[in-house]
Amino acid sequence: MADLESQGSDVKFHLKQYNFQIENVPRLSCTDAKAEKLISNGLPVILTDTKLVSSALHWDLDYLSENMGEGDFTVFLSDTNKFMYFDDKKIENVKDFKQPTQMIEMKFPEFVTRLRSYKEGDKRLYMQQALNDTVGRRIVMDFLGFNWTWITEQQKKNKWGPLTSNLLLVGMDSNITPAHYDEQENFFAQIKGCKRFLLFDPSNFECLYPFPVYHPHDRQSQVDFDNPDSLRFPKFQDAKAFEAIVGPGDVLYLPMYWWHQVESVPGHGTVISVNFWYKAGPTEKVQYPLKAHQRVAMTRNIEKMIIQALNDPTEVAPFMQAMVLGRYT
Ligand SMILES: O=C(O)CCC(=O)C(=O)O
Ligand SMILES: [Fe+2]
Protein backbone atom coordinates (compact mmCIF):
# COMPACT_ATOMS: atom_id res chain seq x y z
CA MET A 1 0.00 0.00 0.00
CA ALA A 2 1.76 3.10 -1.29
CA ASP A 3 0.31 5.70 1.03
CA LEU A 4 0.36 3.72 4.26
CA GLU A 5 3.36 5.70 5.53
CA SER A 6 1.64 9.02 4.93
CA GLN A 7 -1.48 7.73 6.68
CA GLY A 8 0.57 6.09 9.38
CA SER A 9 0.08 8.61 12.15
CA ASP A 10 -3.60 9.00 11.25
CA VAL A 11 -4.14 5.24 11.44
CA LYS A 12 -2.18 4.89 14.68
CA PHE A 13 -4.16 7.70 16.26
CA HIS A 14 -7.35 5.63 16.09
CA LEU A 15 -5.88 2.39 17.40
CA LYS A 16 -6.69 0.88 20.75
CA GLN A 17 -3.94 0.98 23.35
CA TYR A 18 -2.85 -2.13 25.23
CA ASN A 19 -0.53 -2.78 28.13
CA PHE A 20 1.53 -5.56 26.56
CA GLN A 21 4.73 -5.03 24.60
CA ILE A 22 4.26 -4.45 20.84
CA GLU A 23 6.86 -4.72 18.06
CA ASN A 24 6.35 -4.13 14.34
CA VAL A 25 6.12 -6.86 11.73
CA PRO A 26 8.56 -5.99 8.91
CA ARG A 27 7.11 -4.52 5.69
CA LEU A 28 9.13 -5.79 2.74
CA SER A 29 9.11 -6.30 -0.99
CA CYS A 30 8.34 -9.89 -1.97
CA THR A 31 11.57 -9.81 -4.01
CA ASP A 32 13.60 -9.14 -0.84
CA ALA A 33 15.57 -12.21 0.27
CA LYS A 34 14.76 -11.27 3.89
CA ALA A 35 11.05 -11.71 3.16
CA GLU A 36 11.61 -15.17 1.68
CA LYS A 37 13.63 -16.11 4.72
CA LEU A 38 10.93 -14.97 7.17
CA ILE A 39 8.31 -17.04 5.36
CA SER A 40 10.47 -20.16 5.21
CA ASN A 41 11.20 -19.75 8.94
CA GLY A 42 7.47 -19.50 9.70
CA LEU A 43 7.66 -15.82 10.75
CA PRO A 44 5.13 -13.13 9.79
CA VAL A 45 5.91 -10.46 7.21
CA ILE A 46 3.90 -7.85 5.31
CA LEU A 47 4.57 -8.00 1.56
CA THR A 48 3.86 -4.75 -0.24
CA ASP A 49 4.15 -5.72 -3.90
CA THR A 50 2.98 -9.29 -4.53
CA LYS A 51 0.16 -8.16 -6.86
CA LEU A 52 -1.67 -11.14 -5.37
CA VAL A 53 -5.08 -9.46 -5.58
CA SER A 54 -4.38 -6.54 -7.95
CA SER A 55 -7.24 -7.75 -10.13
CA ALA A 56 -9.62 -7.22 -7.17
CA LEU A 57 -8.51 -3.81 -5.94
CA HIS A 58 -11.51 -2.22 -7.65
CA TRP A 59 -13.93 -4.26 -5.53
CA ASP A 60 -16.45 -2.17 -3.62
CA LEU A 61 -19.99 -2.74 -2.38
CA ASP A 62 -21.67 -1.67 -5.65
CA TYR A 63 -19.47 -3.88 -7.81
CA LEU A 64 -19.74 -6.90 -5.52
CA SER A 65 -23.49 -6.42 -5.18
CA GLU A 66 -23.82 -6.52 -8.95
CA ASN A 67 -21.43 -9.39 -9.61
CA MET A 68 -21.33 -11.70 -6.59
CA GLY A 69 -24.09 -13.90 -8.00
CA GLU A 70 -27.14 -15.56 -6.52
CA GLY A 71 -25.41 -17.66 -3.87
CA ASP A 72 -26.00 -17.41 -0.12
CA PHE A 73 -23.45 -15.57 1.99
CA THR A 74 -22.80 -16.16 5.67
CA VAL A 75 -23.17 -13.00 7.72
CA PHE A 76 -22.52 -12.66 11.45
CA LEU A 77 -24.52 -10.20 13.54
CA SER A 78 -23.15 -8.84 16.80
CA ASP A 79 -24.42 -6.49 19.51
CA THR A 80 -20.85 -5.28 20.03
CA ASN A 81 -17.93 -4.67 17.67
CA LYS A 82 -16.49 -8.09 18.59
CA PHE A 83 -17.16 -11.16 16.46
CA MET A 84 -15.84 -14.16 18.36
CA TYR A 85 -15.84 -17.35 16.32
CA PHE A 86 -17.60 -20.45 17.67
CA ASP A 87 -17.85 -24.00 16.38
CA ASP A 88 -21.48 -25.12 15.91
CA LYS A 89 -20.55 -28.75 16.33
CA LYS A 90 -19.22 -28.15 19.86
CA ILE A 91 -22.16 -26.16 21.27
CA GLU A 92 -23.74 -29.19 22.94
CA ASN A 93 -20.49 -29.78 24.88
CA VAL A 94 -21.14 -26.73 27.05
CA LYS A 95 -24.30 -26.34 29.11
CA ASP A 96 -26.04 -22.98 28.60
CA PHE A 97 -23.53 -21.85 25.97
CA LYS A 98 -24.53 -18.44 24.72
CA GLN A 99 -23.65 -17.67 21.11
CA PRO A 100 -21.78 -14.35 20.99
CA THR A 101 -23.01 -13.67 17.45
CA GLN A 102 -25.90 -14.73 15.25
CA MET A 103 -25.11 -16.41 11.96
CA ILE A 104 -27.48 -15.81 9.04
CA GLU A 105 -27.47 -16.46 5.30
CA MET A 106 -28.36 -13.78 2.79
CA LYS A 107 -27.84 -12.75 -0.83
CA PHE A 108 -25.08 -10.24 -1.37
CA PRO A 109 -27.35 -7.28 -2.30
CA GLU A 110 -29.38 -7.80 0.86
CA PHE A 111 -26.18 -7.61 2.88
CA VAL A 112 -25.23 -4.32 1.21
CA THR A 113 -28.68 -2.86 1.88
CA ARG A 114 -28.42 -3.78 5.57
CA LEU A 115 -24.89 -2.40 5.76
CA ARG A 116 -25.92 0.90 4.20
CA SER A 117 -28.94 1.34 6.44
CA TYR A 118 -26.91 0.62 9.60
CA LYS A 119 -27.43 3.12 12.41
CA GLU A 120 -26.11 3.23 15.94
CA GLY A 121 -27.85 0.70 18.14
CA ASP A 122 -28.35 -1.79 15.26
CA LYS A 123 -26.55 -5.09 15.26
CA ARG A 124 -23.18 -4.82 13.58
CA LEU A 125 -22.46 -6.95 10.49
CA TYR A 126 -19.53 -9.04 9.28
CA MET A 127 -19.75 -11.21 6.18
CA GLN A 128 -17.39 -14.18 6.12
CA GLN A 129 -17.91 -16.50 3.18
CA ALA A 130 -15.57 -18.80 1.27
CA LEU A 131 -15.53 -17.93 -2.43
CA ASN A 132 -17.23 -20.64 -4.48
CA ASP A 133 -18.47 -21.31 -7.99
CA THR A 134 -21.77 -19.45 -7.53
CA VAL A 135 -20.06 -16.08 -8.07
CA GLY A 136 -20.74 -14.10 -11.25
CA ARG A 137 -18.53 -14.06 -14.35
CA ARG A 138 -16.70 -10.85 -13.60
CA ILE A 139 -15.72 -12.09 -10.14
CA VAL A 140 -14.50 -15.32 -11.76
CA MET A 141 -12.34 -13.21 -14.08
CA ASP A 142 -10.97 -11.17 -11.16
CA PHE A 143 -10.26 -14.43 -9.29
CA LEU A 144 -8.42 -15.90 -12.27
CA GLY A 145 -6.40 -12.67 -12.36
CA PHE A 146 -4.99 -13.25 -8.85
CA ASN A 147 -1.22 -13.75 -8.89
CA TRP A 148 -1.44 -17.56 -8.76
CA THR A 149 2.09 -17.82 -10.15
CA TRP A 150 3.58 -16.10 -7.13
CA ILE A 151 1.47 -17.79 -4.48
CA THR A 152 1.82 -21.27 -5.96
CA GLU A 153 5.58 -20.81 -5.99
CA GLN A 154 5.42 -19.92 -2.28
CA GLN A 155 3.28 -22.99 -1.59
CA LYS A 156 5.83 -25.22 -3.35
CA LYS A 157 8.93 -23.61 -1.85
CA ASN A 158 7.56 -23.93 1.66
CA LYS A 159 6.18 -27.44 1.05
CA TRP A 160 2.65 -26.50 2.08
CA GLY A 161 -0.31 -28.72 1.29
CA PRO A 162 -3.22 -27.72 -0.97
CA LEU A 163 -5.13 -24.44 -0.91
CA THR A 164 -8.26 -25.20 1.13
CA SER A 165 -10.23 -21.97 0.73
CA ASN A 166 -10.35 -18.27 0.01
CA LEU A 167 -12.40 -16.63 2.71
CA LEU A 168 -13.97 -13.34 1.62
CA LEU A 169 -14.39 -10.94 4.56
CA VAL A 170 -16.57 -7.85 4.18
CA GLY A 171 -17.17 -5.86 7.32
CA MET A 172 -17.78 -2.53 8.95
CA ASP A 173 -14.81 -0.55 10.16
CA SER A 174 -14.10 -1.02 13.91
CA ASN A 175 -15.20 -4.69 13.74
CA ILE A 176 -12.89 -6.92 15.75
CA THR A 177 -12.08 -10.60 15.38
CA PRO A 178 -10.79 -11.48 18.88
CA ALA A 179 -7.49 -13.29 19.44
CA HIS A 180 -7.33 -16.86 18.16
CA TYR A 181 -5.05 -19.16 16.21
CA ASP A 182 -5.78 -21.24 13.10
CA GLU A 183 -4.38 -24.60 12.08
CA GLN A 184 -3.50 -23.56 8.53
CA GLU A 185 -0.95 -21.35 6.79
CA ASN A 186 -2.46 -18.07 5.62
CA PHE A 187 -1.63 -15.39 3.09
CA PHE A 188 -4.02 -12.62 4.06
CA ALA A 189 -4.69 -10.13 1.25
CA GLN A 190 -6.15 -6.72 2.04
CA ILE A 191 -8.36 -5.16 -0.64
CA LYS A 192 -10.21 -2.19 0.86
CA GLY A 193 -9.87 -0.32 4.16
CA CYS A 194 -7.25 -1.07 6.79
CA LYS A 195 -6.80 -3.85 9.30
CA ARG A 196 -4.55 -3.96 12.31
CA PHE A 197 -3.30 -7.39 13.31
CA LEU A 198 -1.97 -8.08 16.77
CA LEU A 199 0.09 -11.24 16.40
CA PHE A 200 1.58 -13.48 19.08
CA ASP A 201 3.92 -16.35 18.41
CA PRO A 202 2.83 -19.84 19.53
CA SER A 203 4.96 -19.67 22.71
CA ASN A 204 2.35 -17.21 24.05
CA PHE A 205 -0.06 -20.13 24.67
CA GLU A 206 0.32 -19.76 28.46
CA CYS A 207 -0.29 -15.99 28.28
CA LEU A 208 -3.43 -16.18 26.16
CA TYR A 209 -5.34 -18.96 27.93
CA PRO A 210 -7.20 -20.67 25.06
CA PHE A 211 -10.58 -22.26 25.78
CA PRO A 212 -10.55 -26.07 26.19
CA VAL A 213 -10.46 -28.01 22.91
CA TYR A 214 -13.99 -29.40 23.43
CA HIS A 215 -15.40 -25.86 23.89
CA PRO A 216 -17.16 -24.06 20.99
CA HIS A 217 -14.54 -21.30 21.41
CA ASP A 218 -11.65 -23.77 20.93
CA ARG A 219 -8.56 -21.92 19.59
CA GLN A 220 -9.86 -18.57 20.90
CA SER A 221 -8.30 -16.70 23.83
CA GLN A 222 -10.45 -16.46 26.96
CA VAL A 223 -8.93 -13.08 27.73
CA ASP A 224 -11.00 -10.01 26.93
CA PHE A 225 -8.26 -7.65 25.73
CA ASP A 226 -10.36 -4.61 26.68
CA ASN A 227 -10.89 -5.80 30.22
CA PRO A 228 -8.33 -8.48 31.10
CA ASP A 229 -9.09 -10.39 34.31
CA SER A 230 -5.65 -10.33 35.94
CA LEU A 231 -6.69 -12.79 38.66
CA ARG A 232 -7.80 -15.50 36.25
CA PHE A 233 -5.23 -14.69 33.58
CA PRO A 234 -2.16 -13.32 35.38
CA LYS A 235 0.28 -14.12 32.59
CA PHE A 236 -1.63 -12.11 30.00
CA GLN A 237 0.51 -9.08 30.85
CA ASP A 238 3.61 -11.04 29.75
CA ALA A 239 2.25 -11.58 26.21
CA LYS A 240 4.53 -10.19 23.50
CA ALA A 241 2.73 -8.86 20.47
CA PHE A 242 3.74 -8.00 16.93
CA GLU A 243 1.68 -5.44 15.08
CA ALA A 244 0.91 -5.49 11.36
CA ILE A 245 -1.23 -2.78 9.76
CA VAL A 246 -2.34 -3.73 6.26
CA GLY A 247 -4.00 -1.60 3.60
CA PRO A 248 -5.12 -2.25 0.01
CA GLY A 249 -2.59 -4.34 -1.91
CA ASP A 250 -0.71 -5.53 1.17
CA VAL A 251 -0.40 -9.24 1.90
CA LEU A 252 0.34 -10.52 5.39
CA TYR A 253 1.94 -13.92 5.83
CA LEU A 254 0.17 -15.26 8.92
CA PRO A 255 1.93 -18.43 10.00
CA MET A 256 0.01 -21.45 11.26
CA TYR A 257 -0.58 -21.50 15.07
CA TRP A 258 0.25 -17.79 15.39
CA TRP A 259 -2.33 -15.97 17.48
CA HIS A 260 -4.06 -13.03 15.87
CA GLN A 261 -6.57 -10.39 16.87
CA VAL A 262 -7.80 -8.49 13.84
CA GLU A 263 -9.14 -4.94 14.25
CA SER A 264 -10.68 -3.12 11.29
CA VAL A 265 -9.26 0.38 11.62
CA PRO A 266 -11.96 2.97 12.40
CA GLY A 267 -12.69 5.71 9.91
CA HIS A 268 -11.75 3.92 6.70
CA GLY A 269 -15.22 2.71 5.69
CA THR A 270 -16.10 -0.81 4.53
CA VAL A 271 -13.27 -3.26 4.91
CA ILE A 272 -12.71 -6.01 2.33
CA SER A 273 -10.14 -8.84 2.52
CA VAL A 274 -9.54 -12.24 0.99
CA ASN A 275 -7.39 -14.87 2.65
CA PHE A 276 -5.61 -17.87 1.18
CA TRP A 277 -5.61 -20.83 3.58
CA TYR A 278 -3.19 -23.66 2.90
CA LYS A 279 -2.90 -27.02 4.61
CA ALA A 280 0.31 -27.52 6.58
CA GLY A 281 3.17 -29.33 4.93
CA PRO A 282 4.32 -32.79 6.04
CA THR A 283 5.18 -32.88 9.78
CA GLU A 284 8.76 -31.84 10.39
CA LYS A 285 11.27 -34.14 11.95
CA VAL A 286 11.00 -34.00 15.74
CA GLN A 287 13.99 -32.32 17.37
CA TYR A 288 14.31 -31.50 21.05
CA PRO A 289 13.47 -29.24 22.67
CA LEU A 290 10.13 -29.22 20.82
CA LYS A 291 9.14 -26.01 19.06
CA ALA A 292 6.27 -24.02 20.58
CA HIS A 293 3.85 -24.90 17.78
CA GLN A 294 4.65 -28.60 18.19
CA ARG A 295 3.77 -28.31 21.88
CA VAL A 296 0.46 -26.71 20.95
CA ALA A 297 -0.28 -29.55 18.51
CA MET A 298 0.68 -32.10 21.18
CA THR A 299 -1.51 -30.42 23.81
CA ARG A 300 -4.45 -30.49 21.42
CA ASN A 301 -3.92 -34.18 20.66
CA ILE A 302 -3.76 -35.13 24.34
CA GLU A 303 -6.89 -33.11 25.13
CA LYS A 304 -8.71 -34.76 22.23
CA MET A 305 -7.65 -38.20 23.43
CA ILE A 306 -8.96 -37.52 26.94
CA ILE A 307 -12.23 -36.07 25.67
CA GLN A 308 -12.77 -39.09 23.47
CA ALA A 309 -11.86 -41.63 26.16
CA LEU A 310 -14.11 -40.04 28.81
CA ASN A 311 -16.93 -39.31 26.38
CA ASP A 312 -18.16 -36.51 28.64
CA PRO A 313 -16.66 -32.99 28.47
CA THR A 314 -17.57 -32.27 32.11
CA GLU A 315 -15.24 -35.06 33.26
CA VAL A 316 -12.16 -33.62 31.55
CA ALA A 317 -11.15 -31.01 34.15
CA PRO A 318 -11.51 -33.29 37.23
CA PHE A 319 -9.63 -36.03 35.37
CA MET A 320 -6.73 -33.74 34.51
CA GLN A 321 -6.62 -32.33 38.03
CA ALA A 322 -6.55 -35.82 39.56
CA MET A 323 -3.70 -36.68 37.23
CA VAL A 324 -1.60 -33.65 38.15
CA LEU A 325 -2.52 -32.24 41.57
CA GLY A 326 -0.13 -33.32 44.31
CA ARG A 327 1.77 -35.50 41.85
CA TYR A 328 3.21 -33.15 39.24
CA THR A 329 2.64 -29.98 41.27
O1 LIG B 1 -9.95 -10.45 9.17
C2 LIG B 1 -10.53 -10.92 10.16
O3 LIG B 1 -11.39 -10.31 10.80
C4 LIG B 1 -10.18 -12.31 10.62
C5 LIG B 1 -9.26 -13.02 9.68
C6 LIG B 1 -8.68 -14.27 10.25
O7 LIG B 1 -8.80 -14.56 11.41
C8 LIG B 1 -7.95 -15.18 9.35
O9 LIG B 1 -7.84 -14.90 8.14
O10 LIG B 1 -7.47 -16.20 9.84
FE1 LIG C 1 -7.89 -16.44 11.88
ipTM of this predicted complex?
A: 0.99
pLDDT at residue 6 in the model = 54
The rounded Å distance from CA 23 to ligand 2 centre is 20
Ligand 1 atom at minimal distance to the Cα of residue 188: 9
pLDDT at 253: 99
Which string of b and e fits 252-269 if b means at least 16 CB within 10 Å? bbbbbbbbbbbbbbbebe
Per-position DSSP letters for 55-74, written without gaps between them: GGTT--HHHHHHHS-S--EE
* 3 has pLDDT over 80: no
| Per-residue pLDDT reduced to its tens digit, 289-305 | 999 999 999 999 999 99
> Is pLDDT at 244 greater than 80 in this prediction?
yes
Give the residue, out of 180, 188, 221, 256, with the most ligand 1 atoms within 8 A of its beta carbon, to mutate for a pocket test: 188
pLDDT at 74: 98
Which of 131, 273, 274 is the pocket-test mutation for ligand 1 (most atoms within 8 Å of CB)?
A: 273
Query: Residue 212 has what pLDDT?
Result: 98
**Ligand 1 contact via 273 beta carbon (within 6 Å):** yes
| Angle between helix 292-310 and helix 316-324 axes, rounded to 10 deg | 120
> pLDDT tens digits for 30-67?
999 999 999 999 999 999 999 999 999 999 999 999 99
Q: State in Å, rounded, how far the first CA of the chain is from the last one.
A: 51
Q: Where are the alpha helices (DSSP H) in the chain?
A: 4-13, 33-40, 61-67, 108-116, 137-144, 148-157, 205-208, 292-310, 316-324
For residue 10, what pLDDT is reported?
A: 73
* d(CA 158, ligand 1 centre) in Å: 22
Calculate what percentage of the chain has a pLDDT beyond 70.
Answer: 97
Residue 5's pLDDT band (cuts 50, 70, 90): low
**Average pLDDT taken over every residue of the chain:** 96
Confirm or reject: Cβ of 184 under 6 Å from ligand 1: no
Residue 197, classified by CB atoms within 10 Å of its CB into exposed (0-12), middle (13-18) or buried (19+), is buried
The pLDDT assigned to 249 comes to 98
Does residue 112 surpass a pLDDT of 70? Answer: yes
Strands (E), the chain: 21-24, 27-28, 45-47, 73-78, 102-106, 124-130, 163-165, 167-171, 176-180, 185-192, 195-200, 240-246, 251-254, 259-264, 271-278
Mean pLDDT (whole number) for 195-218? 98
